[in-house]
Amino acid sequence: MVSLKVLVRATPILAGVAALAGCGATSQPAATSPSAPTLQSKFVDVVKTVSPAVVQIQTSSGLGSGIVFDARGNVVTNHHVVAGAKKFTVTLAGGKRVSATLVGADAGNDLAVIHMVGATPPPATFADSSKVEVGYLALAIGNPLGLHSSVSQGIVSSVNRTVSEGNGVTLKSAIQTSAEINPGNSGGALVDLNGHVIGIPTLAALDPELGGTPAPGIGFAIDSNRVTSGARSIIAGSPS
């Protein structure tokens, strides 16, 4: 269990309010790191690939993010993004706005699925999170503070964390990342350099010794294996 005294979900924000995812022979030369231009191009390619599958979700109480899960227009997100809402407006990466309905939710794992009406953008590709290693470069793509399709960059800081949301929900096998996670990032995508989703950003840590301000570079994401299995179960259990 993470020992931080305070954790805050990367909750939806109120619309319009500025608030506050190998060993070679010794005779071989050491592998060199990618050049800056090559790495930069890789980042650009990943963002271009993944961003169309990351959407903004608006409810009567705030904004959050979601990931297009399949070709039928289903979107997976955090339960706390949609909790209590009956109507949803989804803004696609290109700016198109569509309505959505709730397919179902798994509050215990902080997951939910909504279905877009009249839109079927290409879904994201989800990684096998059991293969994610500490040190992986990671990009968080979402809508922090309502800033549509924003990207932050960091690394995977730890894996298999057990983290309490502070509301009776405990996340198991969470991925810790140094990529910035802010309100509105919830439900978005934490992706690797292959452009595959490794998790859904969900929590940002607060430092009680600094008056409850965000602890820099400490965020948590629900691992992609739990996301995919949870979303499939929600969809399979839907009456439709």
SS3 of the chain: the string is CCCCCEEEECCCECCCCCCCCCCCCCCCCCCCCCCHHHHHHHHHHHHHHHHHHEEEEECCCCEEEEEECCCCCEEEECHHHHCCCCCEEEECCCCCEEEEEEEEEEHHHCEEEEEECCCCCCCCCECCHHHCCCCCEEEEEECHHHCCCEEEEEEEEEEEEEEECCCCCEEEEEEEECCCCCCCCCCCEEECCCCCEEEEEEEEEEEHHHCCEEEEEEEEEEEHHHHHHHHHHHHHCCCC
Segments forming the whole domain that contains residue 163: 6-13+124-229
User: pLDDT-based confidence at 35, cuts 50/70/90?
Assistant: confident
Domain limit, last residue, from 68, 96, 123: 123
Position 59 confidence tier, pLDDT thresholds 50, 70, 90: very high
Given 80, 97, 123, the domain boundary residue is 123
61 carries an active-site annotation: no
- Tell me, yes or no, whether 148 and 224 share the same domain: yes
State how many domains the chain has: 2
Q: Is the pLDDT of residue 77 over 50?
A: yes
pLDDT digits (tens, 9 = 90+) for 129-182: 999 999 999 999 999 888 888 999 999 999 999 998 877 889 999 999 999 988
Q: Is 27 a catalytic residue?
A: no
Catalytic residue among 51, 65, 80, 148: 80
Catalytic residue among 115, 186, 192, 223: 186
* Judgement on whether residues 141 and 203 belong to the same structural domain of the protein: yes
Does 169 share its domain with 102? no
Active site residue 80: yes
CATH of the domain at 70: 2.40.10.10
Give the per-residue pLDDT at 147: 86
Domain boundary among 123, 155, 179: 123
Looking at the domain assignment, is residue 88 inside a domain? yes
**The one catalytic residue among 110, 152, 223, 224:** 110
Average pLDDT over residues 16-35: 40
